[in-house]
Amino acid sequence: MNVVDLGLERTRYAVIDETIESRWRRVTSMQHDTVAIVTPRDQITFADLEVRADAIARELDIRGPHGSCPVAVDLEPTAQAVVYLLATLISGRPLVMIDPQLPDARREHILATSGAVALHTVLEEAAATEFRFGNALEPLSSDPAMIAFTSGTSGAPKGVVLSHSMCLNKADELAAAIDLRPDDHIGNLLPVSFGAGITALIMGLMNGVTVYCWDPRVDGTSNLDHWLRRNAITTAHCAPSFLRAWTAAEPTDRRDSSDNALRVVVTYGEAAHGRDYQQHRDHGFSGVTYVNWMATTETGVVAYNAFPPGSAFPSGIVPAGRARDGKDVQIVDLDGNPLPDGEVGEIHIISSDLADGYHGDPERTSQRFTALADGVSRYRTGDRGCIDTQGELQLRGRLDDAVKIRGYLVEPTEVDASLRAISGVVDVAVIVQTENDDPVLCAYVVSNPNRITLSPAEVRRELSQRLPGWMVPRHIIMLTSIPRTERGKIDRAALPAPAPVTTTTAGPTLETITEFRIAIIWSKIIGLESLDRDDDFFALGGDSLAAAEMLTAVRAAVLVTVTGAQFATATTIRELAALVDAMLCNRKRDEGRASDLVPLTTEGSRTPLFLITGAGAPALSFLAMTQAMSGNRPVYALQAHGMESRGLPDRTISKMADRYIREIRKVQQHGPYVLGGYSHGGFVALEIASRLHDEGETVEHVVILDTHLRENMIAPNPDAVREEEGPETTSPEPVLNARARTSRKSVLGIWFRYQFAGVMQFDTSMQWYLFYHRGLASLRNYVPCPYRGAVTVIRGEDNRQSAADWSAVATGRVTFEDILGSHEDILRAPYAVAAGEAVERALASQTAGIRT
């Protein structure tokens, strides 16, 4: 197999004088029987591709629209779609690529703006009529080959007009950069309708090299590794976000790269980070060269940065690299004056190899493109950047992204890079919001799903150690994934709005000494410098762990013990300070008393929901979930007796159920009841439901949140009886770091605390640890009686127990719903939102069933 002569040795500003059809004919004359396109669904040779594309091109010549009317092609992830695409290009009519996942409104906008006729319409009419136009075209290299519509994340998409010569130049520049070889297998891991996706495809087709197309939105990542190795992919082309997903899907123990042929990975479309490349390399790709490709639809490649095997990656965002031949990069100020190296300004590109403007939009074209001499033009990118001391282009985001926060100019890209450097963070989006007429930073963060989810407070606190206070985002919102458009760009419109807060940039509105003292504590734990007296701890990203740390600090500072139950009703600085002041006035130092029943919300007219905590978990652990619920019913949490105030703990599930029933009846004397429980609390909830049912009460529904059945509960046991009360004979085995040398004294100390847990109060983390093991101990001899009522089991990602497993425990109507998040994470942001929504659905379905 021979690669077609690329013609890359051209002088500055020289442009290839060739059409796509003429290049294509040279390729097919040399690569007739070679496979051209392979997808997971089909494949086609160069010969068959030529024959089938020519047949459709003839239909366009005979029955297609008059003149050079654009033709729109739906680009499904198949080889047949490439036939349609190529047929349109060689017919001489401008191609308009339509992504099949486009919303209808966006699709209609593109068709209306371009004036394109859909190819399928032409073919359908060709089959139904013998009418012939006879208008074959013979385009020049400077004529439009395609109208590429940009993503339009900040507005309506605009059609960029690309000539035949520019399309070929784009492909040739990429081929030269990766040293494209005759025996390469190109792995196009981008939708073909994307700018970089079509460039990688044309590179292969116009050089006689097989292209393997894998659409990440359709084909995912689960079988990617096998597909790449089976097809001996040598060059892979993808977005940085997909590279991260690819890395996460790779076997974690792979360190040998000898079984893969991959030699180059090129990333496009968004900022790549050195850690993205390093983590991928560490998963068995030590022989790969990584290329960061900086290009725009209007200019083609501007710069790229290659990192051969063994080279070190930069920390943070990877620089765009040095400007390529045929492209001059200028950094200018607001008046268009060139800036010296190191200073940040707008990036301008000067070249003879630019797009021909925007289709049907002369005003926008004149704003962005300026014709210079000898066929050279200037393009204003709207991007900010600078040339560093190494002569490399550094990007600084869009012109309208930079914002002044408290008088300091902040670039979101810097915040983005610092967030990505935090261990456990896998994806980030940083945007500017307006709040109380002031700009504030808002960060959306995705945590590693294979680790315990970071809380917003943990992220912000870590970030505050890396950045000055004015650069720390006011809002940090945890998400399971960053929403992206059909073109892989961050979809800003789909990012959830942050919860409103009251702080203004004019300064804090704290009034009392206690408020100031509490604000100082919150500032250290939450990671924010400026706080308002009406700021809510949980709205700022605090969770139950951060709340425990904060309450411990409050106790040390003011010598007053505020329990989690009390804090649940006083979650702002103003409310907490008032509570502390009242306790000081009444001289209730160290005498905080916590009820086992904690109201999380008392609003709503529907049947109250009573939730039982997991072993060792406080009532506050349910707060993130309940805040995501609609608020149409009161919600109460029940936590272990003795965990937050002195009291003898309940040793068995039976005793816990008895106590909780008494607490529930203080709020609701009779049914119908709605119950729920997380983990260990699920067993207690079922026990309560059984007892209430035996007493003649109505239990509408029991919601089980990721409770894992023990082995003795899964096996059918018709002789099950309620547990007998008896002395507790087992103590926990302390969970200790296997690498640590734990003294006999420390082990005895934990054993001693376990015996007196509840009667004595220890620090919060120790208290939770002890009650966690007390919860485990309560299950050792427990066999639940079958419950005959309605149950919904909500399972986290690592819960594989089936309906058959539950059949011995729940014998009535049982439904299951699976949500994202591990067992430890489903009650924490962002997974707590899905958990709350699942609870709402379960209770809504029960209500609907009752009404019918």
Q: What are the residues facing 822 on neighbouring strands? A: none
Considering just the CA atoms, what is the radius of gyration of the chain in Å? Answer: 32
How high is the mean pLDDT of the chain? 83
Mean pLDDT of 121-136: 56
Q: Distance between CA 405 and CA 467 in Å, rounded?
A: 13
pLDDT in tens, 217-239: 888 888 898 899 999 999 999 99
Give the confidence band of 128 by pLDDT, cuts at 50, 70, 90. very low
The strand order across the sheet containing 71-74 reads 117-118, 71-74, 95-98, 144-149, 159-163
- Is the pLDDT confidence value at 520 over 90? no
Is a pLDDT exceeding 50 seen at residue 132? no
Handedness of CA 657, 662, 665, 667 (dihedral sign): negative
Mean pLDDT of 399-410: 72
Name the pLDDT band for 144 (thresholds 50, 70, 90).
very high
Got the DSSP string for 696-764? T--EEEEEEES----HHHHS--TT--PPPP------------TTS---HHHHHHHHHHHHHBTTB---H
Q: What angle do CA 674, 675, 677 make, to 5 degrees?
A: 160
CA 814 remoteness from chain centre: 32
Strand order across the 235-238 sheet: 43-45, 35-38, 211-213, 186-188, 235-238, 264-267, 289-296, 300-307, 322-323
CB 820 within 8 A of CB 832: no
- Distance separating alpha carbons of residues 221 and 242, to the nearest angstrom: 9
* Distance (Å, whole) CA 480 – CA 503: 27
Indicate whether 304 pLDDT > 90: yes
Supply the pLDDT for residue 487. Answer: 66
Say whether 328-396 and 20-323 share the same fold: no
**Count of beta carbons in the 10 Å neighbourhood of residue 341:** 11
How many DSSP H helices and E strands does the chain contain?
A: 26, 31
**Cis? peptide before 830, omega within 30° of 0:** yes
Closest CA to 640 of 627, 623, 621, 665: 621
Q: What DSSP string runs through 345-363?
A: EEEEEEESS----BTT-HH
Q: Distance between CA atoms of 53 and 89, rounded to whole angstroms?
A: 9
Confidence of residue 594 (pLDDT cuts 50, 70, 90): low
Whether the pLDDT of residue 742 is over 50: the answer is: no
* Fold adopted by 407-494: GMP Synthetase; Chain A, domain 3 (3.30.300)
Cis ω before 240 (30° cut-off from 0):
no
CA distance linking residue 480 with residue 828, whole number of Å: 11
Beta strands in 202-336 (DSSP E): 211-213, 235-238, 264-267, 289-296, 300-307, 322-323, 328-332
Q: Does residue 16 have a pLDDT over 80?
A: no
Enter the tokens of residue 348.
């301008």
Model confidence at 299, pLDDT cuts 50, 70, 90, reads: very high
Distance (Å, whole) CA 109 – CA 184? 38
| Most confident residue range from 159-168, 247-256, 451-460 | 159-168
Most confident of 133-142, 298-307, 472-481: 298-307
- Give yes or no for residue 504 having a pLDDT over 60: no
What tokens does 437 get? 């007429």
Output the pLDDT for position 730.
38
Return d(Cα 763, Cα 551) in angstroms, integer. 11
Q: What is the pLDDT of residue 231?
A: 94
pLDDT at 670: 93
Query: What would the mean pLDDT of 350-359 be, rounded to a whole number?
Result: 93
What residue segments make up the domains of the chain, in order of their start? 20-323, 328-396, 407-494, 594-718+743-849
* Least confident span in 168-182, 720-734, 833-847: 720-734
pLDDT band (50, 70, 90) for residue 301 = very high
> Percent of the chain beyond pLDDT 70?
86
Determine the Cα–Cα distance for residues 348 and 530; give it in Å rounded to an integer. Answer: 39
Q: What percent of the chain has pLDDT over 90?
A: 41
Asked if 87 and 53 touch (Cβ cutoff 8 Å), the reply is yes
> What band does 349 get if pLDDT is binned at 50, 70 and 90?
very high
Amino acid at 552: T
Q: Which CATH architecture has domain 20-323?
A: 3-Layer(aba) Sandwich (3.40)
- pLDDT: which is higher, 404 or 614: 614
Which stretch, 135-139, 417-421, 562-566, has highest mean pLDDT?
417-421
The reported pLDDT for the residue numbered 714 is 77
Average pLDDT over every residue of 587-605: 71
Mean predicted confidence (pLDDT) in 358-369? 93
Question: How far is the C-alpha of 423 from the C-alpha of 467, rounded, in Å?
Answer: 16
The CATH H-level (homologous superfamily) assignment of domain 328-396 is Luciferase; Domain 3 (2.30.38.10)
Largest CA distance in the chain: 98
Is residue 69 within 8 A of residue 137, CB to CB? The reply is no
Report the pLDDT value the prediction gives residue 847, as an integer from 0 to 100: 54
User: Which has the minimum average pLDDT: 185-194, 280-289, 768-777?
Assistant: 768-777
Looking at residue 407, what is its pLDDT?
64
- Sheet-wide strand order for 635-638: 597-601, 635-638, 609-612, 673-678, 699-705, 791-795, 814-818
According to DSSP, the β-strands at 408-410 and 403-405 are antiparallel
Higher-confidence residue: 247 or 213?
213
Which of the residue ranges 260-264, 398-402, 579-583, 600-604 would you say has the lowest mean pLDDT?
Answer: 398-402
Burial 116-132 (b: 16+ CB within 10 A, else e): bbbbeebbeebeeeeee
pTM, two decimal places: 0.68
- Of 121-130, 151-160, 669-678, where does mean pLDDT reach its minimum? 121-130
3-state secondary structure (DSSP) of residue 439: strand
- Tokens for 830, please give them: 């962002």
The predicted-structure confidence for 793-808, as pLDDT tens digits, reads as follows: 999 988 988 888 898 8
Q: Which CATH class is domain 594-718+743-849?
A: alpha beta
130 pLDDT tier (thresholds 50, 70, 90):
very low
Give backbone dihedrals phi and psi of 109, rounded to 5 degrees, phi first. -60, -45
163: number of Cβ within 10 Å: 25
Average pLDDT, stretch 312-320?
91
pLDDT at 755 over 50: yes
Whether 388 shows a pLDDT value over 60: the answer reads yes
Assign residue 382 a region (left: φ > 0; alpha: ψ between -120 and 50; beta: otherwise): left
8 A C-beta contact, residue 93 and residue 133? no
- Taking only the tens place, the pLDDT of each residue in 567-578 is 888 888 889 999
Work out the average pLDDT over 803-830.
90
Q: Which two tokens stand for residue 389?
A: 């001391």
For residues 267 and 516, the model is more confident at 267
